[in-house]
Amino acid sequence: MKSAVYPHKELVTGIILFTSSTQLLFINDEAQALLRSIHTPATRENGSGLIPAEVHAVVRELASQLAKCAHPKDCESIQVERVYLNSARRLLIRGLVVPDEPIQSNTRFLIIIEPFPEQVEGLNAIVQERYHLTEREQMVIIYLMLGFTNKEIASRINLSEYTVKEHLKRIMHKTRTTTRTGLLARMIFPTPDRNGQTTPPDSIAAHERSVS
């Protein structure tokens, strides 16, 4: 078996496969290493290692959406994403449906676990503490840094597009920014001012005023 320690800057992709009844079929070494790194309480123990609650939540959501499918093509587009956050680790947990007939018994759930790209790691513990972002606000910022639109963010974290916009407004208020570009710059390049707060770089585009 490979070492549980994986290179920080290399692409690491964890793969887990479940049956439609949520039984574990397969977990690769990379997934086991990533799951060990987050140290969260597991809801139950499987033969190949501990599966944390965050992964089970994705599997349950996939099962819920599968129950609405009458034909394999109906569920090919199903995708569930969750962000795992703590002070030391950020992971993207993505769930996909691999349909087969009979759909309710032979379908499989594919779970893909990956660390966030290095640019997203700019949202570090210091930034979080400085701006007192909630977990949901952190998730919105992370997806924004990955280039997602408000509509895409809303879909991935099960919110309305209006609620995502409200989160962005609150984040902008906390960070004293008025544009999406300025907000991204604040996350990546926090600049302290004379009051110990932070201000966006002078080069930020001042004309972008909308959070849409």
- Segment 64-76, tens digit of pLDDT: 989 988 888 888 8
Q: What is the mean pLDDT of residues 93-121?
A: 85
d(CA 211, CA 163): 12
3-state secondary structure of 162: helix
Q: What is the mean pLDDT of residues 36-58?
A: 66
Look up residue 46 and give its two tokens. Answer: 């499987």
- Segment 130-157, tens digit of pLDDT: 788 887 888 888 888 778 889 888 887 7
pLDDT at 11: 57
User: What structural domains does the chain harbor?
Assistant: 14-115 (3.30.450.20), 119-188 (1.10.10.10)
3-state secondary structure of 44: strand
Share of the chain above pLDDT 70, in %: 70
pLDDT at 92: 84
Q: Answer with the residue of higher pLDDT: 208 or 179.
A: 179
d(CA 165, CA 126): 24
Residue 206 pLDDT > 50: no
Question: In which residue are the tokens 């039984």 written?
Answer: 23
pTM passes above 0.75: no
Strand-pair partners of 85 = 90
